[in-house]
Structure 1
């Protein structure tokens, strides 16, 4: 049985999902350096202390995680929902997302950035009520990243 609970994310999940998702759009060196920096031991300790971190676990093995950053009053950022490719399509991402959303007060607005080429994730978020707000361009290690900012308005 898979469950979503607070816990430490898996570097393996981050690396595997990044490679699987972006292998055709982001160069390997950029992916490797991003994951190494974003999921270093120091970064993870800081995230676990300050964020709402959820892991999806079965038999003590992490299959996915979600990272929510509390923002200024009434807002939060969904920084990540990562699910191993072999565990995708089983409702795990939805369970992580729903569990995380419930950890914030009613009326919270959620924002996220997703790579424009990641159409699967954009469809996932759109089906759950997020709407695109604007496109952003960032340069990381000389590679242009084209993100779509998406927003989930509070339910009325």
Structure 2
């Protein structure tokens, strides 16, 4: 797979990737009905389209010419030296093949002025936590999930850059 900037023509495939990946990852955490609710809102074509033109951001896809196997979206914070990795998802069929690493490498290259890459991960998502830790991310702090006061806890991780 090669990593490139996402375009309008990719949005339907990215939505499909996100819905399938979210069900595989989060049904056990939130339940399938809640995953449908979240993906319908967060991963709608309209929501994804807004990311294409967001300033100081990068919307990437991993593409093999036949399918989109992964995606990432990152944006600078108010402090341009801190980048928030909002999303990095690899379809379950494409995991453990270097796709996540390739997306992460391109995110880092897209923000040469950045000194810190930050990500938040559900505490119950052990696979993602293991991935980020193996890529040099270190725990930063705990934050409550803003969607529900009694919901899962998200963990913040940061990776120093440059």
Tell me the TM-score normalised to structure 1 length.
Answer: 0.91
Once the two structures are superposed, residues 94-141 of structure 1 have per-residue CA deviations (whole angstroms, 9 ceiling, x without a partner) of: 001111111002443111100011111111111111111111222536
Aligned residue number for residue 113 of structure 1: 120
Q: Structure 1 pair 31/68, CA: closer, same or farther in 2 (3 Å)?
A: same
Aligned residue number for residue 3 of structure 2: 4
Aligned residue number for residue 25 of structure 2: 21
CA distance in 1, matches of 2:44, 2:150: 21
Aligned residue number for residue 52 of structure 1: 58
More strand by share: 1
Once the two structures are superposed, residues 46-82 of structure 1 have per-residue CA deviations (whole angstroms, 9 ceiling, x without a partner) of: 1111130110111241111011112222111001111
- After superposition, residues 29-108 of structure 1 pair within 5 angstroms as 29-50=33-54, 51-72=57-78, 73-108=80-115
The root-mean-square deviation of aligned C-alpha atoms, in Å, is: 1.6
Tell me the TM-score normalised to structure 2 length.
Answer: 0.88
CA distance in 1, matches of 2:114, 2:34: 37
**Structure 1 runs, 4 residues or longer, greater than 2 Å off:** 139-143
Aligned residue number for residue 134 of structure 1: 141
In structure 1, the gaps of 5 or more residues are none
Q: Structure 1 pair 142/27, CA: closer, same or farther in 2 (3 Å)?
A: farther
Contact 1:64 1:84 in 2 (8 A): yes
More helix by share: 2
Contact 2:15 2:45 in 1 (8 A): no
